[in-house]
Amino acid sequence: MEWVVGMTSATLSEARTNFPKLVKRAMDGETIVITLGRNRTPVAKLEPVQAKAKKRLGALETPGLVLSPGFFEPLDEDELA
């Protein structure tokens, strides 16, 4: 197996003991390969999940929408009535 720079490996026993720390490292962007046996055969990979893009709402979702300069100005008394 080719090892990628920045990839860490841990035996199954090490992973069991240090699981919270390994999850934190994965959340920080690191990939951890879990190995098994004396040959350290790779059996699993712990890596970060790509975050979903945030949904844009309302006016931010409408391309080309431009608010007039007076949009945030207070309304006249007769418009309020």
10 class by beta-carbon count within 10 Å (0-12 exposed, 13-18 middle, 19+ buried): buried
The pLDDT assigned to 63 comes to: 67
User: Given this structure, which CATH class describes domain 1-49?
Assistant: alpha beta
Overall pTM > 0.75:
no
Name the phi and psi angles at 66, rounded to 5. Answer: -125, 130
Confidence of residue 3 (pLDDT cuts 50, 70, 90): very low
Residue 10 · residue 36 · CB < 8 Å: no
The domains of the chain are located at 1-49
DSSP string, 46-73: E-PPPPPPPPP-GGGGSTT----TTTTS
Q: Tokens at residue 42, please?
A: 């790779």
